[in-house]
Structure 1
Amino acid sequence: MKTKFALIVFALVLGLVGLMPTGQAAAAVEIKVAHVNAKTHPVGVGLELFKTEVEKASKGAIKVKVFHSAALGGAGDIIQGVQLGNIQMGTTTCGAMIPFCPEFDIMSLPFVFRDEAQLHKAMDGELGKTLGAAAQKKVGITIMGFSTGGIRQIESRTKIMNVSEMKGLKIRTMNDPGIIEVFKLFGAIPTPISFGEVYTALQSGVVDGCETSFISWVKSRLYEVAKYGIQVNYMDTGRVFFANPKFLAKLSPENRKIVVDGMTTAVNKIRNEYITQQQQIAAKATSLGGVIVHPDLESFRKAAAPIYDKFTPTLGKAWLQKIRNN
């Protein structure tokens, strides 16, 4: 399914510029695209497809370099790099965008989306448009699409069967106010750390666990230092794909279309790859020595419930009802 959001982005980008100078289209174009996950992660797979599609469609006039595994820094570094134009394109979870654009905090509330289909419908529609406009205004980046970010779980050095067993555990979280509040309600000590530092922090005991998707748990080999995967299905923060608008504006119309179309193809691939890999990941984790734990989910739901009274998303609580009505 082609994302409607990409069409909106293309129209906005075209409106940013007029005719390009003679010879601009023939100039060599280099694109650096960055993310924090492994090459075999759904995001890595999709961005490698972006590279293939763009270089093929441009007949080599556009060269794409994909930087995997936080090679250019953590999520915040990637956002700032794209802001400054040092990196042309990037992707992070929506939660990582919150310090730069508070409107994204609606994505950090627990148990909001039923499944990936509901999230994609919201992000291809009015919610995605609203967040895209906010990011353009406040961060100075152009949103090119959204996908699921994978259903988030808890990975721990110790077995957890009930939320009461979270008490006092230091859990690595993103620097996301909603997620931090959720883990306080779970009784844990939320500890924001860049994703690229999580393995070492778990290995050294700086933290007792982390929260991420099981896909990242396996692809980043976190199961080696956090053996237990606690399946709580508590959140999907979504994922956002973005570019530097000045970079897009300098492209010839033909090259701009190739880049936008390539990212649309990549986002659709990433959406499907997340679903495919999530269906296989439990068996993969077990084969590698990880242990999937099915805790008392209701205890986690009850513990998290007060957040809806304590935390009002920047866009307002009316948006929560709009999402649930989809």
Structure 2
Amino acid sequence: MMKISLRRGLFVSAVGVMALGLTACGSTSGNNSSASNTGNTSHSSGSQKTMTFRLADDQPATYPTVKGDEAFAKEVSQKTNGRIKIKVYPNAQLGAENSVIQQIQLGAIDFGRINAAPLADFDKKLGVLELPYLFKSTKQEWDVYNGKVGSDLLNSLTTAKMVGLTFYDSGQRNFYNSKHAVKTPAQLKGLKIRVQKSNMMVDLVNTLGGNATPMAYSEVFNALQSGVIDGAENNIPSYYTTNHYKVAKYLTLDHHTATPEILLASQKTWNKLSPADQKIVRQAAQDSQKVERTAWNALVQKALKAIKANGNVITNVDSATWQKAVQPLYKKYGSSYSSIIQQIKNTN
């Protein structure tokens, strides 16, 4: 809906990966095939078969999602007495996110932590999570993710040969600018706001009264510093780590989007597991969410401490006012999600 799939060309590359023998991960001792050149092995101990799987993440080893990945892998190993091992590969060691999705579909990679936005190209229901001001509060957001709506969204990934296991936090995006405090949409009027190259994001800023300015992320700091743009939008840790907080001191906590991360498995890998092992893996994934969210909150608090120490002006808003202002976007982008949106509204 909101994104144009650019990944067809990657399919050939992913098939090439298969041909080179990178799909041996997760094989059991009943197979005669050799282990892949990534070091994945399997063997049996009596009647117990040992399986080693790979999990891809494109973030650094200290990032909250990777901490969640590691907690997931640790619990799976503990609950299976070391019979199922999951090795986490951070820093995009197994490829960029788009390539990893293709490899997971093919079974060349067993597990992955992927943002819901690119996954929406493969499962269109997930596109609902990119709509602005979708949730009334953080509590409602996570009640949705961990309730029936979230479960249905995770289960729908099976149509794309993937198994959704749990949601991870990737923060809420907020506006910030170098001109003045913004509490209402009217105060955003006329401000040149950098956005991603996304039709929905351009329409969001323009609908709120700002002037959307698509721009490469690497150019934002200099553009803010020189006045080419007045502001941008991102989650709080990114606002801090990019030093944007030093050149755009007015932060508006409007939480316009909160597209989550998803921990998922390849359907091919999932089918290798017994029902009992599937239950262990799914529960470990759900348990790891708490670890990831705790780590994410710690990162947010660290960023806020530095932002406040810098003297920045942080403004809270009435979310209902902003939600009302973007209703035209729901007519344009949300019509195919009306049932899911209503279920979200009914979640208190």
Question: TM-score if structure 1 supplies the norm length?
Answer: 0.72
- Residue 26 (str. 1) matches residue 46 (str. 2): no
Tell whether 2:135 aligns with 1:113: yes
8 Å contact 2:50–2:83 — kept in the other structure? yes
2:100 aligns with: 78
User: For residues 201 and 312 of structure 1, do their structure 2 counterparts lie closer, same or farther at Cα, with a shift above 3 Å needed?
Assistant: same
Q: Is the 8 A contact 1:150 1:236 kept in 2?
A: yes
Moved more, 274-283 or 296-305: 296-305
8 Å Cα contact 1:184/1:190 also seen in 2: no
Q: Which residue of 2 aligns with 1:285?
A: 307
Structure 1 residues 135 and 227: CA distance shift in structure 2, 3 A: farther
> Aligned partners of 1:75 and 1:230: how far apart in 2?
30
Separation in 2 of the partners of 1:204 and 1:70? 27
SS at match of 2:54: strand
1:152 paired with 2:173, answer yes
Q: Does 1:213 align with 2:231?
A: no
Are the structure 2 counterparts of residues 251 and 155 from structure 1 closer, same or farther at C-alpha, using a change threshold of 3 Å?
A: farther
TM-aligned CA deviation for residue 244 of structure 1? 0.6
CA contact (8 A) 2:194 2:220 kept: no
Structure 1, gaps ≥5 residues long: 1-18
Of 205, 222, 233, the residue aligned with 2:242 is 222
C-alpha deviations, 1:31-86, integer Å up to 9, x for none?
223144x4444323212222333344445444433333545455433323322333
TM superposition shift of 1:226: 6.7
What SS does structure 1 have at the residue aligned with 2:337?
coil
Please tell me whether the aligned partners of residues 105 and 178 of structure 1 are also in contact (alpha carbons under 8 angstroms).
Answer: no
Report which structure shows greater RCO (CA 8 Å, sep ≥6): 1
Tell me by how many angstroms 1:192 deviates: 7.7
1:37-56 superposed matches below 5 A: 38-56=60-78
What is aligned with 2:38?
A: none
Give the aligned partner of residue 39 of structure 2.
none
> Which residue identity does 1:66 align to in structure 2?
V
C-alpha separation between the residues in 2 aligned to 1:81 and 1:201?
A: 31
Cα distance in structure 1, aligned partners of 2:277 and 2:69:
17
In 1, distance between residues paired with 2:50 and 2:180? 57
Separation (CA, whole Å) in 2 of partners of 1:210 and 1:58 = 46
- Give the 5 Å matches for 1:223-262: 223=243, 227-228=247-248, 229-251=251-273, 255-262=277-284
Partners in 2 of 1:20 and 1:252 — Cα distance? 15
Q: Identity of aligned pairs, percent?
A: 20
Q: Root-mean-square deviation (CA), in Å?
A: 3.7
Alpha-carbon distance in 1 for matches of 2:233, 2:196: 6
- For residues 158-199 of structure 1, what are the alpha-carbon distances to aligned partners after superposition, in whole Å with 9 as ceiling and x for unaligned? 345345556473524375x54443133233336386xxxx3x
Deviation of 1:283 (Å): 1.3
Aligned to 1:312: 334
Gaps of 5+ in 2: 1-27, 32-42
Q: Does 1:271 align with 2:293?
A: yes
- Which residue is 2:25 aligned to? none
Q: Corresponding residue for 1:140?
A: 161
Quick one: structure 1 residues 21 and 60, their matched pair in 2 at CA, closer, same or farther if it must change by over 3 Å?
A: same
Distance 1:44 1:227 in 2: 30
Q: For 1:53 and 1:203, how far apart are their aligned partners in 2? A: 41
Normalising to structure 2: TM-score of the pair?
0.68
Contact 1:33 1:67 in 2 (8 A): yes
Separation (CA, whole Å) in 2 of partners of 1:239 and 1:311: 21
Alpha carbons of 1:254 and 1:98: their partners in 2 closer, same or farther (altered >3 Å)?
A: closer
What is the aligned partner in structure 1 of residue 150 from structure 2? Answer: 128
Task: Supply the AA of the counterpart residue of 2:109.
Answer: I
Would you say the 8 A contact 2:56–2:94 is kept in 1? no
Q: Identify the match of residue 185 of structure 1 among 159, 184, 207.
A: 207
Q: How many residues align?
A: 295
Question: Corresponding residue for 2:346?
Answer: 325
What is aligned with 1:68?
90
Are the equivalent residues in 2 in contact too, given 1:113–1:119 (CA < 8 A)?
Answer: yes
**Offset at 1:113?**
1.2
Change (3 A) 1:32 1:91: closer
- Write the distance in 2 (CA, Å) between the matches of 1:241 and 1:181: 30
Partners of 2:317 and 2:274 in 1: how far apart? Answer: 55
